[in-house]
Structure 1
Amino acid sequence: MALADGVFAIALTLLVLDFDVPRGLGSDQYDDALRELLPNLGAYALSVVVLGAFWREHRRIFGFVRQIDGQVITLSVVGLSIAALVPFPTKLLSEYGREPESVAVYAAAVAALGTAHLAVLLVLLRRPWLRGETEPPGGFRLYAIDLAVTVVVFALSIPLALAVGAAAMWLWLAMAPVKMAIGRRADRAR
């Protein structure tokens, strides 16, 4: 857990390293430099939400773990390596957000991170001896469906981005009502 906390903290920190306003600018140049930072701020905000959600999910998943095996460790390290990579596609999105490839690369990174989390959860589902006594509200299957929604939406947005461009990012918003419905169902199962 400490390794995961550190990786997510460093990835979040790396997101801000590209923010820069040169010294010695006049008033008009200063205003322009601030406006040029807006795409960086948008990509930063998106990635803070994404990384924060995956950090929370990582901690939540490992809250159900009683013991780990080599496969759980391997999948967790793969997921952490992808989380550490997220600042790069974030930079692509902030600097080249209108390019379809930037949107596709970002979506691929998020889908891969979600796949790694889902894989750990599926290992726990198939190997009950690795789990503790507690279960997620609604059970492991509903929790896996919730994670799978993220993977599917971001994976579908990859070819969509390459076909229609940055507008594919609107598909990411489609997750919100689906995830809310899954959350309500899990709450009813409590």
Structure 2
Amino acid sequence: MNRVSNGSPSSARPDRLITLSDGIFAIAMTLLALEVRVAPDLDPEQFHDALRETAPQLAAYALSFLILCIFWRDQRQILLMSAKTGGLPQHLALAVLGMIALVPFPTSILAEYGAREPLAVAMYAATICLIDLLQLAMFATLRGRHGVRAVGEWRDTAADLGATVVVFGASVPIAFFAPQAAMWCWLALFPAKAALGRRERLRSTPQDS
């Protein structure tokens, strides 16, 4: 394992930042679940109506949970690629975490208003896009200042991060004209991620054999 020659913040190992990231992601994921609820003291008819009304909340929860899982994986992968962090990369990592903690808010707005309010869809997409842009900036800065393990790794990571920027960034203007179509566009992220992951595994297979 690489060792840091001094204990200054500019050459800090990423261990503590990874631990902080894990905690913030866990809290954000938990807050997503707290948004799904049914009012108490309902009669049977009201109870069944309330359950049906939770469908948009559950859909928004599932979408955001999956996206946070992807961001958590990417954050750990980026930080583990570098032997040390600090300075601008550390500030960018904290900015990512600040935005991650905010995700439950646009998720609740999306669940409440959905396709009825284009701004709710655009705001959600813009939040996800901004988080990914910050991760890309953090990754590029770490690569430039501290390096990464292998060329193949950074290319795969850059392509993986770029897929989220393209999908959600493109859906922002679409949301103002066809919010429902913009939300359907988001589903393209998951097969794109799967294809990129498969390509990465195929590329690494000869090295492991």
With structure 2 as the length reference, what TM-score do the two structures score?
Answer: 0.83
The alpha-carbon deviation at position 70 of structure 1 amounts to 0.5
One-letter amino acid matched to 2:173? P
The alpha-carbon deviation at position 3 of structure 1 amounts to 1.2
1:46 matched to 2:27: no
**Aligned position for 1:178:** 192
The alpha-carbon deviation at position 94 of structure 1 amounts to 0.4
What SS does the corresponding residue of 1:21 show, helix, strand or coil? coil
RMSD over aligned Cα atoms: 1.5
> 1:67, 1:131 within 8 Å by CA — same for their partners in 2?
no
One-letter amino acid matched to 1:3? L
One-letter amino acid matched to 1:79? V
1:12-161, aligned counterparts within 5 Å?
12-98=29-115, 99-127=117-145, 130-131=146-147, 134-135=149-150, 138-161=152-175
The alpha-carbon deviation at position 5 of structure 1 amounts to 1.0
The alpha-carbon deviation at position 18 of structure 1 amounts to 2.5
> 2:85, 2:142 within 8 Å by CA — same for their partners in 1?
no
> 2:28, 2:101 within 8 Å by CA — same for their partners in 1?
yes
CA offset digits 1:111-139 (Å, max 9, x no partner) = 01111111111112222xx246x338x33
One-letter amino acid matched to 1:95? E
2: CA distance, partners of 1:142 / 1:19: 36
175-184 vs 82-91, greater mean Cα deviation: 175-184
Larger radius of gyration: 2
What SS does the corresponding residue of 1:15 show, helix, strand or coil? helix
With structure 1 as the length reference, what TM-score do the two structures score?
Answer: 0.91
Q: How many percent identity over aligned positions?
A: 45
CA offset digits 1:32-55 (Å, max 9, x no partner) = 111111111110011110111101
One-letter amino acid matched to 1:183? G
Instruction: Identify unmatched segments of 5+ residues in structure 1.
Output: none
